[in-house]
Amino acid sequence: MARAFNFSPGPSTLPEQVLRQARDTMLEYGGAGASIVEISHRGPEFLEIAERAEADLRALLSIPDDYAVLFVAGGATTQQALLPLNFAAPGQRADYVLTGHWGQVATRQARPYVDLNIAASSEADGYRGIPPFEEWRLSEDAAYVHVTASETIHGVEFRPSAPGGHPFPDTGDVPLFADFSSSIASEPIDVSRYRAIYAGAQKNLGPVGIGVVIVRRDLLARAGQPRADIFDYRLQLEAGSMLNTPPTWNWYVAGLTFRWMLDEGGVEAFARRNEAKARALYAAIDGSGGFYRNGVDPAVRSRMNVPFQLHDPALDGRFLEEAGAAGLIGLKGHRVLGGMRASIYNAMPLEGVQALAAFMADFQRRHG
């Protein structure tokens, strides 16, 4: 069976070239006499993979030297609990800005450890926009401000570095923490604007099972809260992200994906491609005369995750079935919003989006 265009939100489509490389080394890796999943994470083969993955990620995202990079298991959600444990004193205030579902999940992970303040939220309008900065109620004594750069379910995105985009406000001396799970490496960003950036890999960086935390080194001097070694970022850094056995296969495939992105021209090239893909898909929705709808404020629509509804939800099942038959999969919307969602991360080619737009127009002709 041929590979379909996969619009799944995460795990999500990977570059075919990366999958082929992974397959070719599955049985035996570069003279090791065994698969990468079978050999020690402390042996020379894997240490080289880990080193190269970090160097490539640093090059890809232009990460300054005064930032540490951690490779972590447990996904983005686990980091949402570890950030307060590592960087907030017990019961210290922490500010959260909610622009969708994942910001809300982050508050649930942090609430046991901090005096949680919702500094701003667009929940009342169904998370269709970003609250104006004048309305943000930031605390001067907060341990940090937490934002979600791209809301994967609600399709709302800050464009921190884009010309004419929606940047984050200056939080002064209070460190800005950002969940970049679904938009990391999708365009250039200025890492030095953040004290911590984190992302699960399964959206834009590779396979599920691993994630990255990029943290300014001086932040690691904070005492944080009583915690087990395994939850301690500083100890993880000292151990090369290998306090215990890391997910070596996932790390390896993520590294292949970093290299692929560099070979394709880096984040500047992906910014152009992602812009073109998003433009094509929103044009298909907005040009449908209301047959398809996306209710997000156009100024902050996500380039990565495009939720849309059919004018008649009774057609949803048929849409998904016919899309699947046309080689377009993973379009079912998240249960909190229903309808459809197309995730169009770096590994989704423009041709995939064009095929989806053509299918949508054809479906409308037949069912409109």
* Contacting positions for ligand PLP (CB under 6 A): 10, 75-77, 102, 148, 152, 179, 181-182, 200, 203
Written as one string, the DSSP assignment of 31-51 is TSSS-TTTS-TTSHHHHHHHH
For ligand PLP, give the closer residue by CB, 146 or 234: 146
Q: Which of 66, 95, 173, 179 is catalytic?
A: 179
Rounded least distance, CB 315 to ligand PLP, Å: 27
For ligand PLP, give the closer residue by CB, 210 or 328: 210
Q: Which of 95, 102, 260, 332 is catalytic?
A: 102
Rounded least distance, CB 185 to ligand PLP, Å: 14
Give yes or no: 102 in active site.
yes
Strand partners, 178: 147, 197
Distance of CA 49 to the CA centre of its chain: 22
Among 10, 26, 7, which residue's Cα sits nearest to residue 201? 10
Among 288, 289, 285, 291, which residue's Cα sits nearest to residue 344? 285
Rounded least distance, CB 220 to ligand PLP, Å: 22
For ligand PLP, give the closer residue by CB, 152 or 288: 152
284: tokens are 């298909």
**Which residues neighbour 120 within 8 Å (Cβ) at sequence distance 6 or greater?**
97, 98, 131, 135, 136, 137
Rounded least distance, CB 178 to ligand PLP, Å: 10
For ligand PLP, give the closer residue by CB, 101 or 259: 101
Q: How far apart are CA 284 and CA 101, in angstroms?
A: 25
Q: Which of 203, 232, 260, 332 is catalytic?
A: 203
Among 231, 200, 196, which residue's Cα sits nearest to residue 217? 196
Q: How far apart are CA 324 and CA 114, in angstroms?
A: 45
Give yes or no: 173 in active site.
no
For ligand PLP, give the closer residue by CB, 9 or 364: 9
The residue with its CB nearest to ligand PLP is 75
Rounded least distance, CB 8 to ligand PLP, Å: 11
**Which residues neighbour 345 within 8 Å (Cβ) at sequence distance 6 or greater?**
12, 13, 182, 186, 203, 204, 304
Give yes or no: 249 in active site.
no
State the catalytic residues: 102, 179, 203
